[in-house]
C-alpha cells in the first residue's frame, strides 16, 4: 500500500471537513444576500470565522478569507508595500528562504513598481540573522514599507523568531507580515501576542480543502485591494464567499486544536523515529536544521552521492511519496534556494529530500519507508555514477 510522507505539500482532507463541506454544498444562499437564505449562509460563515479566530488568537474581523495562502501573501505584501509607498517608503524586506509566494511578488514589486527588495540571510541552521535585520532597521527604518518573514520554513521546518522580528519592526514603525501557511496547526500561533500586522494561513495544510486560505490583518489597518467588485472582507478581498470551503476550513481547524499538543507530540515522535532510522542505515546522511527548533513533522535530509530527483522517483516507484522541497516548484530542475542560503553547495543541495509527517501517518508508514530506503539509496548512487 502506498505511503504518503508529503504532508507539508498538502494533507489528506479530514472526515469532519468533508462532512462540513458536503453539508454546506447542499444549502442554498449567498452570504452577501439579505434574504433568509443569505442570512442563514452568513450565520454559518461567521461561525466559521469565529472558530478560526479562536485558534489564531485574533479578533474575527481580522480574518479576511482568500482562495489560497498565495493570495493572502500577495494581498499582504503588495498591499502593505503600496500603503508604505504612498508615504515615501520604497523598501521591501524579506528573508532569503521565503516561499515563492513571497519571493515572486517581491520580485514583481521590484520589476513593476520600482521597489528595492532586500533579503535577510540565514545561518547554517536556517535561522534568519536578526542582527542583520536590526542593523538595517537602525539605518533605514523610514524607507522600509514592509517586512515579511515566514514563521517556519516549508522545506526544513526551521522555526523563525517572528516575535523578535515584530519587536524590531515596531521600533521603526514598520508593518510586519508573516507567511504562516506551513506553521498553522503545527506550532502555537497567537496573532495578538506575536505583534504582527498581518499573517497568512491556508486550509489544506491541516486537513482542510485546497482552495481556501485567510489573511489575518490587524484591526484598523487596511491595505489597497488586489480584487475589486463586491466590497466583501473589509473591501480588501471582493468576491462571493466560498462558503463550503470556509466551513470545511473551520471544521479542520477545530479538530486540529481539540488535541493539538497530543497530535503534535505524536507527529514529533514519528519524525524522530524516521530521522534516527535514516541516520542509522545511512550514517553519512545528515538532517538539515537539526540543531534548532523545527516543526514537528518535517525531515529534510541530505544523502551524499545521490541526486534528489532520482531518489524521489525511485521512492515513488516503491510507493513512498515524498518531495525534494516545495510542491510549488516540483519538476523544476534547480537546487533548493533554501539550502543554498544555508551555505550548502549546489551538489549538496541537489542531494537533499524532504519527508513530512502528518496526523494520519503511522509507525508502519515510517518503518516501511526505512525498510525501502537503503536499497533505493544504493540505486540512486549507482545512477549518479553513470
Check residue 383 and give its pLDDT. 80
CA distances from 360 to 11, 152, 277 (A): 9, 21, 20
User: CB-side exposure of 290: number of CA atoms within 13 Å?
Assistant: 14
Residues 6+ apart with CB under 8 A from 341: 96, 97, 121, 122, 126
Mean pLDDT value of segment 28-46: 93
Domain boundaries along the sequence of the chain: 3-11+260-385, 15-257
Q: What is the largest CA-CA distance in the chain?
A: 69
Query: What average pLDDT score do residues 170-175 get?
Result: 96
- Spatial separation of the C-alpha atoms in residues 213 and 64, rounded to whole Å: 9
Bridging pattern class, strands 3-4 and 144-148: unpaired
Among candidate residues 282, 303, 301, 280, the one with its CA nearest the CA of residue 290:
301
pLDDT at 328 over 70: no
The residue with cell 470545511 is: 248
pLDDT digit string (tens) for 244-269? 999 999 999 999 999 999 999 999 99
**Cβ neighbours for 326, distance < 8 A, ≥ 6 positions apart:** 9, 99, 100, 154, 155
Query: Do the bridges between strand 352-356 and strand 91-95 make them parallel or antiparallel, or are there none, so unpaired?
Result: unpaired
Cell for 316? Answer: 515513488
Whole-angstrom distance, CA of residue 160 vs CA of residue 174: 18
What is the 8-class DSSP label of residue 98? -
**CA torsion angle for 178, 182, 188, 194 (degrees, to 10)?**
0
Mark whether 328 is an active-site residue: yes
pTM of the model: 0.95
Question: How many CA atoms within 13 Å lie on the side-chain side of 284?
Answer: 9
Separation CA 98–CA 153 (nearest Å): 7
Q: Is the pLDDT of residue 197 over 80?
A: yes
Residue with cell 487596511: 222
Bridge partners, residue 122, by sequence: 128
Q: CB 325: neighbour CB atoms within 10 A?
A: 25
Q: How would residue 326 be classed by pLDDT, with cut points 50, 70 and 90?
A: low
Question: What cell was used for 312?
Answer: 524521489
Q: Which fold has domain 3-11+260-385?
A: 3.90.1150
Residue listed under C-alpha cell 518531495: 323
Mean pLDDT across 238-245: 95
Catalytic-role residue among 58, 281, 322, 328: 328
The answer to whether the CB of 352 falls within 8 A of the CB of 334 is no
Half-sphere exposure of 228 (CA within 13 A, CB side): 3
pLDDT, one tens digit per residue, over 284-298 is: 999 999 999 999 999
Task: Identify which has the larger pLDDT, 332 or 249.
Answer: 249
pLDDT higher than threshold 80 for residue 209 = yes
Q: What average pLDDT is seen over the chain?
A: 95
How does pLDDT run across 92-146, given as a tens digit for each residue? 999 999 999 999 999 999 999 999 999 999 999 999 999 999 999 999 999 999 9
CATH 3.40.640.10 for the 15-257 domain, yes or no: yes
Cβ contact 206:256 at 8 Å: yes
Q: Is residue 298 helix, strand or coil?
A: strand
- Joined together, the cell numbers standing for residue 271 give 519524525
Residue 381 reports pLDDT greater than 90 = no
The Cα 27–Cα 243 span in angstroms is: 10
Any idea how long the chain is?
A: 386
Residues 6+ apart with CB under 8 A from 5: 320, 321, 322, 355, 356, 357, 361, 365, 369
Minimal CA–CA distance to 308: which of 353, 360, 252, 244? 353
Amino acid at each position: 500500500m502506498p505511503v504518503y510522507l508529503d504532508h507539508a505539500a498538502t494533507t489528506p482532507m479530514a472526515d469532519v471537513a468533508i462532512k462540513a463541506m458536503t453539508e454546506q454544498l447542499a444549502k442554498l444562499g449567498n452570504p452577501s444576500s439579505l434574504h433568509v437564505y443569505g442570512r442563514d449562509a452568513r450565520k454559518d460563515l461567521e461561525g466559521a470565522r469565529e472558530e478560526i479566530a479562536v485558534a489564531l488568537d485574533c479578533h474575527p474581523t481580522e480574518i479576511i478569507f482568500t482562495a489560497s495562502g498565495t493570495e493572502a501573501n500577495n494581498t499582504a505584501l503588495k498591499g502593505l508595500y503600496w500603503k508604505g509607498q504612498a508615504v515615501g517608503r520604497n523598501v521591501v524586506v524579506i528573508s532569503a528562504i521565503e516561499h515563492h509566494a513571497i519571493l515572486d511578488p517581491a520580485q514583481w514589486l521590484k520589476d513593476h513598481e520600482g521597489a528595492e527588495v532586500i533579503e535577510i540571510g540565514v545561518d547554517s541552521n536556517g535561522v534568519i540573522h536578526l542582527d542583520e535585520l536590526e542593523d538595517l532597521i537602525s539605518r533605514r527604518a523610514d524607507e522600509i514599507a514592509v517586512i515579511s518573514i515566514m514563521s517556519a520554513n516549508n522545506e526544513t521546518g526551521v522555526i523563525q523568531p517572528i516575535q523578535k522580528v515584530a519587536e524590531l519592526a515596531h521600533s521603526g514603525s514598520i508593518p510586519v507580515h508573516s507567511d504562516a501557511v506551513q506553521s498553522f496547526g503545527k506550532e502555537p500561533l497567537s496573532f495578538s501576542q506575536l505583534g504582527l500586522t498581518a499573517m497568512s494561513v491556508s486550509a489544506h495544510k491541516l486537513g482542510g480543502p485546497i482552495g481556501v486560505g485567510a489573511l489575518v490583518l490587524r484591526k484598523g489597518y487596511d491595505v489597497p485591494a488586489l480584487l475589486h467588485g463586491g466590497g466583501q472582507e473589509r473591501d480588501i478581498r471582493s468576491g462571493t464567499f466560498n462558503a463550503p470551503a470556509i466551513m470545511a476550513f473551520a471544521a479542520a481547524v477545530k479538530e486540529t486544536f481539540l488535541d493539538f499538543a497530543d497530535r503534535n507530540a505524536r507527529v514529533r515522535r514519528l519524525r524522530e523515529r524516521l530521522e534516527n532510522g535514516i541516520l542509522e542505515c545511512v550514517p553519512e546522511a545528515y538532517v538539515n536544521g537539526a540543531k534548532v527548533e523545527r516543526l514537528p513533522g518535517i525531515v529534510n535530509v541530505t544523502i551524499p552521492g545521490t541526486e534528489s530527483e532520482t531518489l524521489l522517483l525511485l521512492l515513488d516507484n516503491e510507493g513512498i511519496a515524498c518531495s525534494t522541497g516545495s510542491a510549488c516548484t516540483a519538476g523544476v530542475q534547480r537546487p533548493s534556494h533554501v539550502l543554498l542560503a544555508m551555505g550548502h553547495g549546489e551538489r549538496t543541495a541537489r542531494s537533499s529530500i524532504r519527508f513530512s509527517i502528518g496526523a494520519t501517518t503511522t509507525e508502519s508508514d515510517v518503518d516501511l519507508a526505512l525498510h525501502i530506503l537503503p536499497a533505493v539509496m544504493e540505486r540512486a548512487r549507482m545512477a549518479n555514477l553513470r
